[in-house]
Amino acid sequence: MSVDMNQFHDVFFEESQEHLDEMEKLLLTLNVSEPDAEELNSIFRAAHSIKGGSGIFGFDALTRVTHVMESLLDLARNHKMVLTHSIVDQFLSTVDTLKTILANYKAQVDQDDSLIANTTQSLQHLLADQQELNQKKADEQGFGFFDQPQTSLKQDDSFGFFDEVAPQQHDDGFGFFEPLTGQEHPTELSQPNAEPETKPVKSELKTPNVSTASDASKNAVSAEASSIRVDTNKVDLLVNMVGELVITQSMLSLIGQQITGPMSEKLQTALGELVRNTREIQDAVMSIRMLPISFVFNRFPRLVRDLSTKLGKQIQLEIEGGNTEIDKSLIEKLADPLTHLVRNSIDHGIESPEKRLAAGKPEKGTVILRAQHRGGNIQISIIDDGAGLCRERILAKAAENSIAVPDNSTDKEVWQLIFAPGFSTAEQVTDVSGRGVGMDVVKRNITSLGGHIEIESTAGEGATFHIFLPLTLAILDGMGVSVADSLFVIPLVNIVESIQPEPSQVKTIKGEYLLRVREEYWPLLCLYKEMQLTPRYTQPEHGIVVLIESNSTRFGLFVDALEGQQQAVIKSLEKHYKRVPGVAGASIMGDGGVALILDVESLSKQVKHTLMKDMS
């Protein structure tokens, strides 16, 4: 029995969380001066559903708070309360409280009673104020006589402005039977309402103080997406199994090539089918894990709103490409670094309104969050039109922290300095940012996701942070290369092209090879040296050079031969062994052997090293 209850609890927690998120989202987009009746109804319904559910499970704290909130929302949707920014703020903070309460119930820890009491109290104040106001209005407008004959009002739907003083009601229309005490007892819990949802109220009866009762009667059918909840572990299992299937399929293809005779043609056709089907299954399964990036982006309107109020700045947040899909596991890990960057943009980037006006910029700063597909990557940009990074300040700070900076370093190199641990150039440490913990963590988080981060900045015009991330962490499109009989995979995204160099293209400087390709000299790295193997060829002109572009540099990688493009299912080396320098992971090939996936970034560090040595 108790197990069964727990199961329901989980569903309730999940649903309530969604309701709260929905409420927050709607509250943020709500047009305060002309609230959309449908939106208000949705917020009300969300609050009501939480109240109903929490009542069933005996989560009293939730019931208490949602109850008062619901009463207020009911006023608002019936046009008996004029919404203001401060009221919306109050609602938002209530949503926060509800989230805390929900989390506490979920974690089965004690509730913070003072928090609940405070929230309830301030909501009650609001409610009392509104009642007073409405009462006054009603009196002024001469509707006082309604006070008496409540029963003469038509059943249902027809509540006047009296039922708001009877917030215990669950079903509209019973309000008139409550004593009109003008007082309310929030702690007095009425039987929780087990009904799934109250019907949206249709206020045909025009309320006297608002002339347009308008579209509350609009049918409140919110299009429900047909979806099911699945445990992420199940999805992960499926992804793993499809990975194995892909390996088995390529093994079969390999065997199929060796078969000759009359059956071979039929076999080839069937194998061709199999290849196509596994591809499609793979894509379909991967897409299960994909979620629109708006899941992360949606938290930012709130953050920006809160921060800009706190810092006294005017900021407009624009979100672009919220529908861009990205792997779920990436989404979860993106939230923190993105939050940090957005905070930074607001705190350090955007100037105060006075400064902005003085600089001839619009008073209102703009922060743009943009997501887009770019090649095999997702690019997320955080763009602000603030002051930009200050080169002098960063350099001064670097000197202060005794970080060595080469002379004449480019802007790009200077910007990367802010990712050093303990680095903060904020003139003043605020509780928003500036303590210098963070940017290094941001960079580490992004790198651990297989991505990288770039900065563009123009003094006085703003700064842009670009985050590049792989679409998924599980499968990689790569090019197979070999040295002797060892196979390696190079991520396709890093490859510019592959060439068989002419002897005339190969130059040497102090024993290091350089390759001349179309007016450019590419430093060459010999994979056999890096991997300590005995190669077939030691002269670049005999083998193949793969031109590679990493975040920081470009170089050529000299290998024996190309083995063809492949989809590599990434396997961790660290699971059973440990991290290997120059290697990002392993992949199992069609013949069952293991190929190492090269880590282009760490290889490129080798290049830098040799090049710098040459120049000195």
Partner 1 sequence: MNKSKTESEKAVDAESQPQEFLSFVLGNEHYALDIMSVKEIRGYEPVTKIAKAPAFIKGVLNLRGDVVPIIDLRIKFDIGEPVYNEFTIVIMLNVLNRIVGIVVDAVSDVVTLQGDEILPPPEFGVAFDSNYLKGLATIDEKMLILVDIEALIGSEELGLITNTDAIAQG
- Give contact residues for partner 1 (rule: CB under 8 A): 240, 243-244, 247, 486-487, 530-533, 571-573, 575-583, 586, 588, 592-596
Please provide residue 247's backbone torsions phi and psi, each rounded to the nearest 5 degrees.
-65, -45
CB atoms within 10 A of CB 455: 16
The SS3 assignment for 384 reads strand
Residue 583 CB, shortest distance to partner 1, in Å, is 8
Q: Is 76 exposed, middle or buried (0-12, 13-18, 19+ CB in 10 A)?
A: buried
What does the block give as tokens for 14?
Answer: 């999940």
Percent helix, percent strand, percent coil in the chain, to nearest 5: 45, 20, 35
Residue 87 CB, shortest distance to partner 1, in Å, is 49
Nearer to partner 1, 358 or 594 (CB): 594
Residue 482 CB, shortest distance to partner 1, in Å, is 12
Residue 248 CB, shortest distance to partner 1, in Å, is 10
Cβ-contact 446, 330 below 8 angstroms: no
Residues linked to residue 520 through DSSP beta bridges, in sequence order: 517
Residue 574 CB, shortest distance to partner 1, in Å, is 8
| Alpha-carbon gap, residue 354 to 579, rounded angstroms | 52
Residue 341 CB, shortest distance to partner 1, in Å, is 28
Q: Is 154 exposed, middle or buried (0-12, 13-18, 19+ CB in 10 A)?
A: exposed
Element (H, E) at 85: helix 85-107
Nearer to partner 1, 315 or 586 (CB): 586
Nearer to partner 1, 518 or 575 (CB): 575
| Alpha-carbon gap, residue 193 to 52, rounded angstroms | 5
Residue 245 CB, shortest distance to partner 1, in Å, is 11
What distances in angstroms separate CA 285 from CA 393, 404, 498, one per listed residue? 49, 48, 32
- Tokens 């605020």 belong to 430
- Tokens 């045909």 belong to 204
Nearer to partner 1, 164 or 530 (CB): 530
| Alpha-carbon gap, residue 274 to 391, rounded angstroms | 57
Residue 472 CB, shortest distance to partner 1, in Å, is 18
Residue 527 CB, shortest distance to partner 1, in Å, is 10
Nearer to partner 1, 229 or 576 (CB): 576
Query: What counts of helices (H) and strands (E) characterise the chain?
Result: 16, 18
CB atoms within 10 A of CB 401: 14
Q: Please report the DSSP string for 118-132 in residue order.
A: HHHHHHHHHHHHHHH
Residue 585 CB, shortest distance to partner 1, in Å, is 8
In 53-112, DSSP assigns E strands to: none
What distances in angstroms separate CA 83 from CA 22, 80, 315, 612, one per listed residue? 19, 9, 22, 64
| Alpha-carbon gap, residue 271 to 251, rounded angstroms | 11
What does the block give as tokens for 294?
Answer: 């708006």
Residue 528 CB, shortest distance to partner 1, in Å, is 10
Nearer to partner 1, 338 or 598 (CB): 598
Nearer to partner 1, 460 or 581 (CB): 581
Residues linked to residue 587 through DSSP beta bridges, in sequence order: 595
Nearer to partner 1, 346 or 568 (CB): 568
Alpha-carbon dihedral 162, 164, 170, 174, rounded to 10 degrees = 0
Residue 237 CB, shortest distance to partner 1, in Å, is 13
Nearer to partner 1, 375 or 581 (CB): 581
